[in-house]
Homo-oligomer: A and B are copies of this chain.
């Protein structure tokens, strides 16, 4: 490679993608904003929120001068101060803000779940394609080591033929939490934590489900007036008919686990989806169990990795 071109490439690599973070709630404060300090290819360039106090406080903490209200979102997009937005808004707003960013030619990294309906998701993909911007869902376990090792092990045939997946993900969510929003606004355990079970099996099987049945339940607690308390689902995958089942709930003690049973062995992750502590993996083959602990890591700093991946994609 001629030195001149190499130099040009290096310069391009050094040009960081400037992100505007839209929505400054819990996930933005504990995860997204801190992650930028580790990001090699991205930088925090703007904050967008309707809460002037949050804008002031977080703007000062992260040294971000560009601050916008939601009304000023389009002005922010057209001002040229951001190349991409990280959407950390309530779930039902993901579509609208993605479409607006796309129309302005701004790339989108969107918190999970992608949106509230399949129609919304398809509209977001269409908007990104039509406006030639990148759209990616921010999902922390795409880059988490224990989960990646599990995928490698299952797809590598260590358990024989993987035949079933089973997962339980439960926690207690308190009254007033945004996750207890009405279902049409994306509230409830399926949107918030069920996505981890679904993504886990999609990645472990390397396939997409073709059929699903589910029950939702509600014990009548006032917390669950507007969304379900618990959802159990069974998914059927194509080909040699693998099954998967999972249960997610906002009214259970903390449980976060999945298992894959193959014709010759079993893999258990417990906890499987947490970010506050270590993750554990048990692999049992021919009656012998091997335990492996994955020390706690800041999975949100891994935002760096998906920001970088996003950045790389932006440059393709």
**Whole-angstrom CA separation of A213 from B232 in the bound complex:** 10
Knowing A170-B261, A234-B213, A261-B255 are in contact, say whether A245-B243 is a contact too (CB < 8 A): no
Min Cβ gap A237→B in Å is 9
B168, A261: Cβ atoms closer than 8 Å: yes
**Whole-angstrom CA separation of A249 from B213 in the bound complex:** 19
Is A34 an interface residue, CB under 8 A from the partner? Answer: no
Residue of B nearest to A257 (CB): B259
Count of identical protomers in the assembly = 2
A266, B243: Cβ atoms closer than 8 Å: no
Name the one of B217, B241, B255 contacting A243, with C-beta atoms under 8 angstroms.
B217
Residue of B nearest to A286 (CB): B253
Residue of B nearest to A245 (CB): B232
B259, A255: Cβ atoms closer than 8 Å: yes
B247, A245: Cβ atoms closer than 8 Å: yes
Is A199 an interface residue, CB under 8 A from the partner? Answer: no
A261, B265: Cβ atoms closer than 8 Å: no
**Whole-angstrom CA separation of A247 from B168 in the bound complex:** 13
- List the interface of chain A (C-beta within 8 A of B): 159-161, 163-164, 166, 168, 170, 172, 211, 213-215, 217-220, 229-230, 232-234, 236, 240-243, 245, 247, 249, 251-255, 259, 261-266, 284-285, 287
Other A-B contacts than A163-B170, A163-B229, A253-B262, 4 sampled, CB-CB below 8 A, are A163-B252, A166-B168, A219-B240, A253-B263
